């Protein structure tokens, strides 16, 4: 398994601090579904997503910096979502995918890399969706969950995806409304978030028919020294674990169950007892 590296230091530093993240199922801790390599470079955040097989990584360039705002940051849930999409690529291949609360759009870009017919990245912050340099079959648009006038229901999404969208309790009601409005017959939604958040617990309660999966994102921070600098780099931060929850929601049980069956076949859901 190739490691995941996320560069966090500014370009003026003589060293880079790097974060190594691995998505591990809680029911099978000996398995790693994949990793995400991020590096803050002069043009933005360089990202690689690697699966559990020794295949070619997906590479993306995101418009962020070491000091980006909340929406301009690759959060653990976004990294976990990208790995999950790579694992479940058959769920999005040939489909129309709508990403809610896209931020930098890593999950939606991963869907495009997985073969989505079209991917629409949406966020309420115009600066995150305007003037984006996007690859073919990827678009971006402003969508505010609390404002139905901005909804993209005409897009006709087959799959919805949202990473770190349930981040605090007041957003749950408009998020649920947006999910239900865009998730039409035959469509399915994948919501990825941090288990510790109250909003994720509230969203689970609001979508009682959703299937739920639990993962851990194991994060280790390394420091890469500049060989030309005689000073040793500072010590790396200790490893941490971020609890990740995943919801599969669909208005029709058959669509939800098909997604869950695929996850079982790919090792992204526990086997039937």
Answer positive or negative: Cα dihedral of 203, 206, 210, 211: positive
Give the CATH number of the domain where residue 53 resides: 3.40.50.150
Residue 51 CB neighbour total at 10 angstroms: 20
pLDDT at residue number 133: 84
19 has a pLDDT exceeding 70: yes
Split at pLDDT 50, 70, 90, the class of 204 is very high
pLDDT score of 4 more than 60 = no
Say if 1 falls within a structural domain. no
Residue 133 DSSP label: -
In a domain, 220, yes or no: yes
Comparing 158-162, 163-167, 207-211, 225-229, which segment has the lowest mean pLDDT?
225-229
> How far is Cα 263 from Cα 69, in angstroms, rounded to an integer?
33
**DSSP class per residue in 192-215:** EEETT-HHHHHHHHHSTT-EEEEE
In a domain? residue 272: no
Within-domain flag for 91 = yes
Q: Which domain holds residue 256?
A: 6-265
User: What is the number of domains present in the chain?
Assistant: 1
What's the rounded Cα separation, in Å, for the pair 268 and 180? 24
Query: CA-to-CA distance for 225 and 245, rounded, in angstroms?
Result: 35
Q: To the nearest whole number, what is the mean pLDDT of the chain?
A: 87
On whether the CB atoms of residues 67 and 35 are closer than 8 A, the answer is no
Contact in structure between 159 and 138 (CB atoms under 8 Å): no
Tokens of 134: 């996007």
Read off the pLDDT of each residue in 91-107 and give the average, rounded to a whole number. Answer: 96
In a domain, 273, yes or no: no
The two most distant CA atoms of the chain are separated, in Å, by: 62
Q: Looking at the domain assignment, is residue 214 inside a domain? A: yes
> 211-248, pLDDT tens digit by residue?
999 999 998 877 666 666 667 666 667 889 999 999 99
DSSP 8-state secondary structure symbol assigned to residue 151 = -
SS (H, E, C) 231-264: CCCCCCCCCEEEEEEEEEECCCHHHHHHHHHHHH
Confirm whether 270 is domain-assigned: no
pTM of the full structure = 0.88
């Amino acid at each position: 398994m190739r490691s995941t590296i996320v560069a966090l230091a500014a370009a003026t530093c003589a060293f880079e601090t790097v974060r190594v993240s691995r998505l591990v199922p809680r029911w099978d801790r000996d398995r790693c579904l994949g990793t995400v390599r991020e590096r803050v470079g002069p043009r933005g955040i360089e990202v690689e997503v690697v699966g559990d097989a020794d295949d070619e990584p997906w590479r993306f360039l995101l418009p962020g910096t070491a000091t980006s705002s909340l929406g301009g940051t690759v959060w653990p849930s976004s990294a976990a979502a990208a790995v999950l999409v790579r694992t479940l690529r058959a769920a999005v291949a040939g489909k129309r995918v709508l990403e809610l609360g896209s931020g930098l759009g890593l999950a939606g870009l991963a869907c495009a890399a997985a073969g989505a017919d079209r991917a629409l990245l949406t966020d309420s912050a115009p600066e995150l969706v305007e003037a984006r340099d996007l690859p073919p079959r990827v678009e971006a648009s402003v969508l505010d969950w609390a404002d139905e006038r901005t909804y993209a229901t005409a897009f006709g999404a087959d799959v919805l995806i949202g990473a770190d969208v349930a981040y605090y309790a007041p957003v749950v009601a408009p998020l649920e409304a947006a999910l239900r409005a865009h998730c039409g017959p035959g469509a399915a939604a994948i919501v990825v978030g941090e288990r510790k958040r109250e909003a994720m617990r509230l969203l689970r309660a609001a979508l009682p028919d959703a299937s739920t999966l639990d993962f851990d994102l194991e994060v280790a921070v390394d420091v890469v020294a500049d060989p030309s600098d005689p000073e040793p780099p500072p010590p790396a931060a200790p490893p941490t674990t971020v609890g990740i929850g995943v919801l599969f929601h669909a208005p029709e049980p058959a669509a939800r169950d098909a997604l869950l069956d695929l996850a079982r076949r790919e090792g992204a859901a526990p086997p039937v007892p």
